[in-house]
Amino acid sequence: MRIESYLKDKAELVHQALDDYTTQLEGIPSTLKEAMRYSLLAGGKRLRPVLVLATVEALGGDSHKALPFACAIEMIHTYSLIHDDLPAMDDDDVRRGKPTNHRVYGEAQAILAGDALLTEAFGLMAQGAKETGLSPDVALTLIAEGSRAAGAKGMVGGQVDDLLSENQQITLAELESIHQRKTGDLIAFSVRAGALVGGADEACLASLTHYAYRLGLAFQIQDDILDVVGDSQLIGKPVGSDEANHKATFPALIGLEKSRQRLLEMTDQAKNALIGHAGLNPERLLQIADYLLARDR
């Protein structure tokens, strides 16, 4: 199967699971359900859950046991987008080609929809582990790791520093530290969740983690590049929004040419990390790295 079809299949599987899961949320206020589903089912690449599934499959593991974690991670990612877009944060009007959550439901409901998605994500991990028979020990490890990746040391901390760095001169190391936490940690958690469900040994887990962080950085560099040279129709938001928001970006800091070079380096390093592990068939993960490198959205 071509990688495009593979990614599409997995994204559809995740979409369906998220649709089912939120449909089953009964007895909740209809506004809340609608606001949660509006952003959760708005599409997007589903990169994180696809990485969970591709990693567990690369290890020959049971992707059924990984699916709740894949969905939970997408819920966490979606909550972070809703909150990042709020007027008090980036004040964005458009996301994935549609009005942002708070533009449709108002600020209060958008904050609460984000809160609910984040809260439900941890419940889905715990409940999902019980239902699929995943080892409770592994499940607890994953919940602890997920909290760390999404929390103060990870994603939230990265967002705090991102906001504080607006209109400030920062170094390349500082920019990479922000991205490592703001997007890298959750991407790494996605791969690690697949790896732990798939039973990766220590060495393989370390290599997969390295792959994930390099991939995450490459992904962010490409995002920054597309914000300069991309097609706003394809990327679903106005080109030049980083500059308008006074965001530090790779092109702003080191120029487009060096950004492209660094993107290639990171992709190479990601791929090289996967070589030489018995029990790991890295084909899809390698293809994902190449696919992301070539993406235009």
Instruction: Please report, as ranges, the residues that interact with its own copies according to CB under 8 A.
Output: 25-29, 31-33, 36, 79, 83, 86, 88-89, 106-109, 111-112, 114-116, 118-127, 129-130, 136-137, 139-141, 143-144, 146-148, 150-153, 156-157, 159-161, 163-164
Q: How far apart are CA 193 and CA 238, in angstroms?
A: 33
CB of 114 to its own copies, least distance (A): 8
Choose between 36 and 273: whose C-beta lies nearer to its own copies.
36
Please state, in angstroms and rounded to a whole number, the distance separating the CA atoms of residues 290 and 152.
31
Nearer to its own copies, 33 or 295 (CB): 33
CB of 246 to its own copies, least distance (A): 14
Contact present, 179 and 158 (Cβ < 8 Å): yes
Per the document, the length of the chain is 297
Closest approach of its own copies to the CB of residue 87, in Å: 8
Nearer to its own copies, 118 or 285 (CB): 118
Burial of 190 (0-12, 13-18, 19+ CB in 10 A): buried
Nearer of residues 136 and 279 to its own copies, judged by Cβ: 136
Query: Half-sphere exposure of 51 toward its Cβ, with a 13 Å CA cutoff?
Result: 29
**Alpha-carbon span 259 to 111, nearest angstrom:** 34
Task: Report in angstroms how near the CB of residue 160 gets to its own copies at its nearest.
Answer: 4
Minimum Å gap between C-beta 125 and its own copies is: 8
Q: Which is nearer to its own copies, 115 or 265 (CB)?
A: 115
Q: Which residues of 31-45 are buried (b: 16+ CB within 10 A; e: fewer)?
A: ebbebbbbbbebebe
